[in-house]
Amino acid sequence: MEGTVPVAQDVLVELNNVYVKSDRGGQVFRDLSFTLKAGRSAVITGAAGSGKTSLAELLVGLRPVQSGSVEVMGQTIKPEKARTIKQVRRKIGGVGGIFGLMPSLTVAENITFPLVLAGERRRMRQERLLKMLTEFSLLKQAREYPHSLTRVENTLVQFARASIAHQPLMLIDEPLAGLDRKTYQRIFEYLVSVSLSGRSMIILSSEILSRELPNTDYYQIIDGALV
C-alpha cells in the first residue's frame, strides 16, 4: 500500500526531560525523554489513562509542558506557536484519538483534505483519491458522510487520509482496538508496509501488537515515563 520514502538519519521527534501536569494538577509525565529518527517507528503501549493520548496532544501542540522541550521535525512545539504548529501538523498523518474525521465533509473530501492543504492540483488529488479508495475498499463509501460509516469504515478512512499525502510521520492512536480479526490483520499488514517503506510511525496502543513490526522500537508508559 505504500510507496518507498527516502530514509534520512534526521531526528523527527525529540522529547527532552518533559514534565506535564494534568488539568487537576496531577502528574501525567515526569522526566520523559524520547527520540525518533526518520525511517524508524515506535510502538508505545500503556494502560488506559497512562498518557498515550496526552503524548499525541504534546506532539501536535495541544498540551503545554511545565518543563522540558518537545521538538518535531526540527521545530519546537508550544501551544502559543500557532504558525509553527500549523506547519508541523501538515507533515503528520493522524489516525484515531484526536484525529477524528470532519463530520461536514464526505469520505472523499476527508481523505483528500491533506492534499488540499498542500495545494495539490485537482487532477493529482483525484488520482490519489482513487488509489486510496481502491486500496482500502472504500469506493462505495466515497460520497457518504462520517455519521453513516461503521466503526471499521471510519478507521479505514482515517488510514486512507493519513496515507494519501505521504507525510513523513504517522501518529496513530489505538489503531487496532475493537476491530474484527480480518480487519485487524489487514491493518497490521498495512502497518508492516508503511514501516518497510521508510515512513515513520508512532503507534499508541493499550494492547501489545500480535507480532513485531520491522524497523520499530518498543516502549511502555509506566508511572509517567517511557521504559
Boundary (domain end) residue, out of 130, 148, 166: 166
Boundary (domain end) residue, out of 124, 145, 166: 166
User: What pLDDT, on a 0 to 100 scale, did the predictor assign at position 49?
Assistant: 87
Which cell goes with 153? 469504515
Same domain, 27 and 87: yes
Same domain, 210 and 145: no
Q: Is the pLDDT of residue 9 over 70?
A: no
Same domain, 136 and 201: no
User: What pLDDT, on a 0 to 100 scale, did the predictor assign at position 7?
Assistant: 40
Boundary (domain end) residue, out of 166, 187, 212: 166
Same domain, 3 and 38: yes
pTM given for the model: 0.91
Same domain, 65 and 175: yes
Of the chain, the percentage scoring pLDDT greater than 70 comes to 96
Q: Is the pLDDT of residue 1 over 80?
A: no
Lowest-pLDDT range of 12-16, 24-28, 51-55, 198-202: 24-28
Full domain range(s) for residue 70: 1-91+168-227
**How many folded domains does the chain comprise?**
2
Same domain, 82 and 152: no
Residue at 36 is within a domain = yes
Q: Is the pLDDT of residue 208 over 50?
A: yes
Same domain, 179 and 120: no
Residue at 96 is within a domain = no
69 DSSP β-pair partners: 16
Q: Is the pLDDT of residue 81 over 60?
A: yes
Q: Is the pLDDT of residue 188 over 70?
A: yes
Average pLDDT for 79-105: 95
User: What pLDDT, on a 0 to 100 scale, did the predictor assign at position 6?
Assistant: 42
Q: Is the pLDDT of residue 3 over 50?
A: no
Same domain, 156 and 175: no
Total number of residues shown for the chain: 227
**Mean pLDDT (the chain, rounded):** 93
Same domain, 85 and 177: yes
What pLDDT band is residue 4 in, cutting at 50, 70 and 90? Answer: very low
Same domain, 43 and 136: no
User: What pLDDT, on a 0 to 100 scale, did the predictor assign at position 18?
Assistant: 97
Helix (H, G, I), strand (E, B) or coil at 178: coil
Which residue, among 151, 187, 153, has the nearest Cα to 170 in the 3D structure?
187
CATH number at residue 32: 3.40.50.300
User: What pLDDT, on a 0 to 100 scale, did the predictor assign at position 22?
Assistant: 86
Residue at 97 is within a domain = no
User: How far apart are alpha carbons 219 and 38 in whole angstroms?
Assistant: 17
Average pLDDT for 200-223: 93
Residue at 159 is within a domain = yes
Lowest-pLDDT range of 32-41, 111-120, 172-181, 188-197: 172-181
Check if the beta carbon of residue 177 is closer than 8 Å to that of residue 143. Answer: no
Same domain, 80 and 12: yes
Same domain, 176 and 157: no
Residue at 16 is within a domain = yes
User: What pLDDT, on a 0 to 100 scale, did the predictor assign at position 179?
Assistant: 86
Buried b (16+ CB within 10 A) or exposed e, 175-209: bbeebeeebbebbbebbbebbebbbbbbbbbeeeb
Q: Is the pLDDT of residue 93 over 60?
A: yes
Which cell goes with 115? 492534499
What pLDDT band is residue 5 in, cutting at 50, 70 and 90? Answer: very low
Q: Is the pLDDT of residue 189 over 90?
A: yes
